[in-house]
Chain A
């Protein structure tokens, strides 16, 4: 497995709206392009889309506030 690639892939779709849009329109192609393994591709194809949307909205607001990051 190559979880570091998966972490990088997640980081990108969390912060980059265009990358996220491309991923959601064709998950397999984008995951393959990122070099993810078969298991990882299957996992991201079933990604929690509700959570992804809510998290990215929250993240965008936080980044706009220069993120205090006090968690």
Chain B
């Protein structure tokens, strides 16, 4: 933990090997929630980093921000935004961006991230992340917003794919193509939420492995894990990404695929927003994630050895 904190870099982390070669290391952590604080702080030997919701601190009292700085001194922190609405043809809200920049400067996190979503329109706050129409205009708007976010904060945000219950109208791209266009034409790396991917794949009938194979592997730098549940009745059912349930097995299988296709140096965060189980249960899920990623890494190693032998 101490080594990790000392050599933490902007995205992911590295450890210094005995021969002084810098080796990237996968890091595993939890979303910081007040209900989990004691459990997290009591188990820092099993948690490499925590992800903090940036928006919770935009208007927080000075004491809360001091507490966050204290937390960041104990464990590497990433900042995660939920209300910028970067994936929009409308210009990102400058005030929120300025607040993000101030918090980033104050906390000096490993990285920061936001969603590929719009959250307001015509002066109406949706109150949740909404998938925008996947068309050229939202790609263009998103790229402009990402460039502005990069300029204001000083570091490009990682961008996260979102879960959606509704297939956004006027979508001329499938989700994978739309995400790839944004990643390839921006400085932003991908924070791939595997439960969001799992949910969308079930809801709209596509292959999540195909989605992963289409992402530029070197640009996947972060992973989110979570759980959800089926909503609706009869044939009218879809998976809701509610962060209230344990990580399901298919999501671990997707994480193994990520391990087989990417280089080490990922940050993997388990998100839980309610119906909190014991900290041991969350740590077990984190261990399960470590195993899944390691299995994927092992597959990659075996495959590359096979290629060398051939």
Residues of A within 8 A of B141 (CB): 3
In the bound assembly, the distance between CA atoms of A11 and B131 in angstroms comes to 11
In the bound assembly, the distance between CA atoms of A50 and B166 in angstroms comes to 7
Tell yes or no: B180 within 8 A of A by CB: no
Is B231 a contact of A40 with CB atoms below 8 Å?
A: no
| B positions within 8 Å CB-CB of A | 31, 33, 53, 55, 82-83, 88-90, 115, 118, 120-130, 132-133, 135, 137-138, 141, 162-170, 203, 231-232, 236, 238, 240-241, 243, 271, 273-274
- Return A66 CB to nearest CB of chain B, in Å: 9
In the bound assembly, the distance between CA atoms of A62 and B274 in angstroms comes to 13
Residues of A within 8 A of B122 (CB): 5, 7-9, 11-12
Is A58 a contact of B231 with CB atoms below 8 Å?
A: yes
Since A11-B122, A44-B170 are in contact, a sample of 15 more A-B pairs with Cβ atoms closer than 8 Å, ordered by chain A residue number, is A3-B133, A9-B121, A10-B168, A14-B126, A15-B125, A40-B169, A43-B169, A51-B166, A52-B166, A54-B166, A55-B130, A55-B166, A57-B231, A58-B231, A58-B240
Please provide the 8 A-B residue pairs with the shortest distance between their CB atoms, ordered closest to farther: A8-B122, A51-B166, A11-B121, A7-B121, A8-B121, A43-B170, A3-B89, A3-B137
Residue in A closest to B226 when the chains form the complex, CB atoms: A71
In the bound assembly, the distance between CA atoms of A11 and B203 in angstroms comes to 21
Residue in A closest to B162 when the chains form the complex, CB atoms: A71
Interface-central residue, B89, B128, B203, by most chain A CB under 10 Å: B128
In the bound assembly, the distance between CA atoms of A16 and B126 in angstroms comes to 10
| A positions within 8 Å CB-CB of B | 1, 3-12, 14-16, 39-40, 43-44, 46-48, 50-55, 57-59, 62-63, 67-71
- Return A15 CB to nearest CB of chain B, in Å: 6
Is A44 a contact of B169 with CB atoms below 8 Å?
A: yes
- Return B140 CB to nearest CB of chain A, in Å: 9
Is A70 a contact of B120 with CB atoms below 8 Å?
A: no
Is B124 a contact of A3 with CB atoms below 8 Å?
A: no
Residues of B within 8 A of A63 (CB): 127-128
In the bound assembly, the distance between CA atoms of A7 and B168 in angstroms comes to 10
**Known contacts A39-B170, A44-B169, A71-B82: does B128 contact A8 (CB below 8 Å)?**
no
In the bound assembly, the distance between CA atoms of A47 and B171 in angstroms comes to 11
